[in-house]
Chain A
Amino acid sequence: MDFLAEGFRRAWGLLVAGDSEVYGIALLTLKVAVVATVISCTVGLPLGYFLATRRFWGRRAALTMVNTALAFPTVVVGLLLYGLLSRRGPLGGLGWLYTWQAIVVGDVLLALPIAAALSAAAIQGVDPRIRRTAETLGAGSWRTAWTVAREARFALAAVITAAFGQVVAEIGAAMIVGGNIRGSTRTLTTAVALYTAQGDFGLALALGLVLLILALVVNIALQVLQGRGHA
């Protein structure tokens, strides 16, 4: 048990001292997570609305595909992305392998199905009269979608939280396409794995605590946003 207490003491010391490595890793993680969440939700939420509200041939298959993608193993996504981004791969010319952009792409691939599938479920939960009423009052497609989304905003905020949670806690793809390079692509999760393996339990714990605080702050921020809404 001593090593645990020692670990916490070390973690607290690093956080209070403003250790540059800890905060550098935290900032990179935040940057990657925010960019990946914004991209996946910008694409995924409208996709979810489309799947929930439009009737078209193949809709059921599309929904099944999106739901299946929810269970994609992160290392497999990382592996496939590695194949695409490696020098011999079709996207090798981008030179993104072992960059933070590669981690963002991997995270987007993993968070997009979450954003699409859960937002489709959230929109399907909105009373269909809301959409009909918006339309009969003269709203165009965008205004109607906005009106429906407003009704589902608690659920949609939860979707964004889930997407952020997936991205911030992701390790498999980040490790494979990011390479865990110090000062460049080392995120909180890959760093925790590395320092634990190296036996630097205090640093790993400090980074783990930062990860928890990050997730907590984002969740609180979203709950505050939700709380502002009235019926």
Chain B
Amino acid sequence: MLELRGIRHRYEGRVVLDLEQFTVPHTGTVAVVGHNGAGKSTLLRLLALLETPTEGQVLWNGAVVPRRPPASLRRRVTLVEQRPILFRGTVRENLEYGLQVRDMGRNAANGIIGDVVDRLGLQSLLSRRRHELSDGEVQRVAVARALALRTDVLLLDEPASSADRAAAGALYRALAAERAARPFAVCIASHQLEDAYRYADDIRALADGRLSPVTPENLFRVELPAGDGVKTARVGSIELVVMTDRAGPVVVAVPPTDIFVSREPLPSSARNVLRGRVTGLAIEHRGAGVHVRADMGGVELVAAVTAEAARDLALTPGGTVVFSFKATAVQVF
């Protein structure tokens, strides 16, 4: 439905986004994960038709979107920014804004606002003004304001960054309820992998403005020394042994499925053996496995195991764990 093709987007001459293709399908939830500065927010602004790519095209249902998209097209997609802002006026007036712009009748607008207010638990906030709200409440109101528009594509930039777990859960449940009620596409930029696994149908990783060829976990920006073969890359307090000819600043990734998980170090050919503590266990969206997050001395790594293996190893948050992987498993790009 919404597609970016051959994008090279620059800010002051610096390429911040370099994508061959990025597609948001008609329905479903796509999560875009990556570090701060990876290009997630820029990607969403291009998808929201708020910016025109320096090079490349934005397509809507196969047709190229003009440099100044008509309001009718812009109204089919909406974005909630990472730090959303509310307009002057009450929360209710903010919720009404986009509906008024669309010339919606008062009764219909009240019905829609009632729905989103119920879903996101905003009843008590309706008459408040922006300076009377916390950051988390502003974020919820901004999501409600966008949800009320019932656009074909909803873009959310770190929608739960200011929310506590309960509020984040309510937000994702509201999204799920809306998706059950009508078909539309959601694209969420997040640095919280756990949320991505829990709520998204498709996860894509961005690193330094490019789509990562591997799954999004365990991405690190490192500096590699010159030379061929086995090298050591420092990531925070740990060292990764890498097999590559590349040198200089690169992004390395350790696919979670290539990590052996054990309670104690195992004798093996793995050159990377890291001991740490389990920080979380997340069951995948489709229930296929368990993602084990572990703190390896200040660096978080994620490994994928089957639910059975997680049970056999009796992995629990806080417990010790050992991650092992070969130097050749570390991908460099």
Which A residues contact B (CB, under 8 angstroms)? 127, 129-130, 132-140, 143, 147, 150-151, 229-231
A-B contact list, 11 entries, CB within 8 Å = A129-B84, A129-B85, A130-B85, A135-B50, A136-B77, A136-B78, A138-B75, A138-B98, A138-B102, A230-B88, A231-B130
> Are A138 and B84 neighbours in the complex by a CB distance under 8 Å?
no
Q: Is the CB of A138 within 8 A of B149?
A: yes
Number of contacts between A and B (CB, 8 Å)? 61
Q: How far is the CA of A136 from the CA of B83 in the complex (A)?
A: 14
Q: What's the minimum C-beta distance from B321 to chain A, rounded to whole angstroms?
A: 42
Residue B97 lies at the interface, judged by CB distance under 8 Å to chain A: yes
Q: A129-B83, A151-B87, A230-B129 are in contact. Are A136 and B97 (CB under 8 A)?
A: no
Residues of A within 8 A of B88 (CB): 150-151, 229-231
Please report whether the interface of chain A is mostly helix, strand, loop or mixed according to DSSP: helix
Whole-angstrom CA separation of A150 from B78 in the bound complex:
22
- Verify if B71 is at the interface (C-beta below 8 Å from A): yes
Which residues of chain B have C-beta atoms less than 8 A from A137's C-beta? Answer: 78, 97-98, 101, 145-146, 149
A133 and B85: CB pair below 8 A? yes
Binary per-residue interface labels of chain B (47-58) against chain A in the complex, 1 for a CB within 8 Å, 0 otherwise = 010100000000
A138 with B87: CB separation less than 8 A? no
The answer for the CA separation of A133 and B98 in the assembled complex, in Å, is 10
Q: A129-B84, A143-B101, A151-B87 are in contact. Are A138 and B71 (CB under 8 A)?
A: yes
Size range of the interface on B? 20 to 34
**B-chain residues with CB within 8 Å of residue A127 when the two chains form the complex:** 85
Q: How far is the CA of A230 from the CA of B91 in the complex (A)?
A: 13
Contacts of B45 in A (CB 8 A): 132
Closest to A138 in B: B75
Measured CB to CB, the closest approach of chain A to B11, in angstroms, equals 13
For A150, list chain B residues within 8 Å (CB): 87-88
Pair A129/B81 contact, Cβ less than 8 Å: yes
B210 CB to nearest chain A CB (Å)? 25
Contacts of A136 in B (CB 8 A): 48, 50, 74, 77-79, 146
How far, in whole Å, are A149 and B172 apart by their CA atoms in the complex? 34
| CA of A138 to CA of B131, assembled, Å | 24
B-chain residues with CB within 8 Å of residue A138 when the two chains form the complex: 71, 74-75, 78, 98, 101-102, 149
Contact among A133, A135, A140, A229 with B87 in the assembled complex (CB-CB below 8 Å): A133
Q: Tell me the nearest residue of chain A to B97, going by C-beta.
A: A137
CB-based nearest A residue for B72: A138
Contact A139 B85 (CB under 8 A): no
Cα–Cα, bound, A136→B149 (Å): 10
Which residues between 169 and 185 of chain B lie within 8 Å of chain A, taking CB atoms? none
B155 nearest in chain A by CB position: A136
Additional 13 contacts, C-beta under 8 A, given A139-B97, A143-B101: A127-B85, A129-B84, A132-B45, A134-B97, A135-B74, A136-B50, A137-B78, A137-B98, A137-B101, A139-B98, A139-B101, A150-B88, A151-B87
> How far does the Cβ of B91 sit from chain A's closest Cβ, in whole Å?
12
Contact B84 A133 (CB under 8 A): yes
3 tightest CB-CB pairs across the interface, nearest first?
A137-B98, A138-B75, A129-B85
Q: CA separation between A86 and B146, bound complex, in Å?
A: 60
Q: Which residues of B contact A143 (CB under 8 A)?
A: 101
Residue interface bits B123-150, CB-to-A below 8 A is 1, else 0: 0000001110000000000000110010
The residue on B at minimum CB distance from A139 is: B101
In the complex, the chain A residue whose C-beta lies closest to that of B45 is: A132
Report the minimal beta-carbon distance from A208 to chain B, rounded to whole angstroms. 39
Q: How far is the CA of A117 from the CA of B77 in the complex (A)?
A: 35
Residues of A within 8 A of B79 (CB): 132, 136
The residue on A at minimum CB distance from B75 is A138
Give every chain B residue within 8 A of A135 (Cβ-Cβ): 50, 74
* A129 / chain B contacts, CB cutoff of 8 Å: 81, 83-85
